[in-house]
Every structure is written in structure tokens, then in C-alpha cells.
């Protein structure tokens, strides 16, 4: 049975980053064009045509691998049009072909996601994504922050959880994770009311 992993998350939650990570393994047919380009629109994602027309999935070249990854944010831009993926139709057609589809929902700090959506899209689309995700069957959850913090250790855990090939020792992972884009949203806090309490409780009391 062939398997397809559907990466999805709110706009700005790391679809491109995770697509690069999963495209590294030679046994996985993923969005390989991203490995040589920083960013490409979702209308050029390998399965983009089939998100619009799931009934055409039978024409896709399924012979190239046993593992496939597709990545669609909610919503995504399709030739300038705000579009919500047809998850139900896509999964139904995959199952009709005898393939197993599984979901991995991407997570990122909700405040950063909202700020990013306001900046790029002119308003938050997070409510649309959260509503869509309520209907997805047995998803796994992937964390942008945990990926940057624990790196290979986190990917090893995901490989076991998803039962999916991940090229954990690939040297390109370091380059993919060289920039934590969360940092541009942070402003250091000079002082907080709890700082003194935390400092006191860490002392050795006599």
C-alpha cells in the first residue's frame, strides 16, 4: 500500500520548512524544488492540480515511490485566489486508489501566526484553518518551535510516531534550520514583576 502524508497548517505555520525536511529522504516523493529555492507558491506544489481536481489523482505518477508528501496551508493562494483545500475529496480519491492518507497538522505560536497573517494577508485567517482541522481524522501535530529547539532528536521521535522515513542525518537540515523566523517577532523584556521572586527562590536558604 502506498502512503501519502498530508502536511497542513495555518498560513505562516511552516509548510515550506516542513516540506523541505520531508523532501530530503530519497525514498520520499516530496516537494524537491523547494530544496534549491527558498520559497515557492503553493500553486506550484506537486499535488496542486489534484487539490483543485481530486478526481484526476488516478493520472498522477504513483510508480515513482511508496511514500509521498503533499503540503497545503489553510487557506492557500491558488493563482491569486484564496482557496481552502478539498481535504475530503482528496482523501477519498487516494483511498479509492488503494493508498493510505494521513494528516500532520503544523503548529506555531498563535500570536506569531496572527501577526504574520496580518502582515502578509492583511488579516488573520487562523479561524478558517482551525475550523477545517476539526474534521481531520487522527492527525499528528508537528511543532515549529520544537523542531528548532531539539532538531534531530525531535525528528527521530517524529519518525517513530509517523512510521515515516526522515533523513535525520542529512547535512542540509542545518541549512534549512539556520534561521528561526520567530526571532523577528520578539522584543526582549527588560524586567517583569516575577523576576525578583524567581531569583529569590533559586537562592540557597539557610
Whether residue 84 is preceded by a cis peptide bond, meaning omega within 30 degrees of 0, is no
Measured CA to CA, the distance from residue 167 to residue 152 in angstroms comes to: 9
- Is residue 202 predicted with pLDDT exceeding 90? no
> What is the pLDDT averaged over residues 161-183?
97
- Tens-place pLDDT, residues 23-68: 999 999 999 999 999 899 888 999 999 999 999 999 999 999 999 9
User: How do beta strands 67-74 and 28-29 pair?
Assistant: parallel
At residue 159, the pLDDT reads 98
Task: Please say whether the beta carbons of 27 and 20 come within 8 A.
Answer: no
* Of 105, 15, 23, residue with least CA distance to 67: 23
* Of 44, 48, 24, residue with least CA distance to 164: 24
Measured CA to CA, the distance from residue 2 to residue 67 in angstroms comes to: 6
- Is residue 104 predicted with pLDDT exceeding 80? yes
Q: Which CATH number fits domain 3-201: 3.40.50, 1.10.287, 1.10.10, 3.30.70?
A: 3.40.50
Domain ranges of the chain: 3-201
Quote the mean pLDDT of the chain.
93
Measured CA to CA, the distance from residue 131 to residue 84 in angstroms comes to: 11
At residue 187, the pLDDT reads 84
Beta strands in 110-182 (DSSP E): 140-143
- Is residue 82 predicted with pLDDT exceeding 80? yes
At residue 23, the pLDDT reads 98
Measured CA to CA, the distance from residue 144 to residue 141 in angstroms comes to: 10
> Residue 206 — pLDDT band, cuts 50, 70, 90?
very low
- Tens-place pLDDT, residues 14-32: 999 999 999 999 999 999 9
> Residue 190 — pLDDT band, cuts 50, 70, 90?
confident
Q: Which residues pair with 78 in a beta bridge?
A: 81
- How large a percentage of the chain has pLDDT more than 90? 83
> What is the pLDDT averaged over residues 190-194?
78
- Is residue 201 predicted with pLDDT exceeding 80? no
Note the pTM of the prediction, 2 decimals.
0.92
Amino acid at each position: 500500500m502506498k502512503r501519502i502524508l498530508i502536511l497542513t497548517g495555518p498560513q505562516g505555520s511552516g509548510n515550506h520548512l516542513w516540506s523541505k525536511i520531508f523532501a530530503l529522504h530519497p525514498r520520499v516523493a516530496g516537494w524537491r524544488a523547494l530544496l534549491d529555492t527558498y520559497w515557492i507558491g503553493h500553486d506550484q506544489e506537486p499535488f496542486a492540480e489534484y487539490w483543485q481536481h481530486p478526481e484526476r489523482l488516478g493520472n498522477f505518477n504513483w510508480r515513482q515511490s511508496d511514500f509521498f508528501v503533499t503540503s497545503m496551508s489553510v487557506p492557500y493562494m491558488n493563482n491569486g485566489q484564496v482557496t481552502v483545500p478539498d481535504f475530503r475529496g482528496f482523501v477519498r480519491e487516494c483511498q479509492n486508489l488503494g493508498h493510505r492518507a494521513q494528516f500532520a497538522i503544523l503548529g506555531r505560536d498563535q500570536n506569531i501566526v496572527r501577526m504574520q497573517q496580518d502582515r502578509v494577508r492583511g488579516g488573520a485567517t487562523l479561524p478558517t484553518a482551525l475550523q477545517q482541522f476539526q474534521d481531520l481524522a487522527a492527525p499528528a501535530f508537528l511543532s515549529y518551535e520544537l523542531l528548532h529547539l531539539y532538531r534531530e532528536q525531535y525528528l527521530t521521535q517524529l519518525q517513530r510516531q509517523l512510521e515515516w522515513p526522515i533523513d535525520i542525518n542529512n547535512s542540509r537540515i542545518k541549512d534549512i534550520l539556520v534561521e528561526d523566523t520567530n526571532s523577528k517577532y520578539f522584543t526582549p523584556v527588560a524586567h517583569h514583576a516575577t523576576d525578583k521572586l524567581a531569583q529569590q527562590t533559586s537562592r540557597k536558604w539557610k
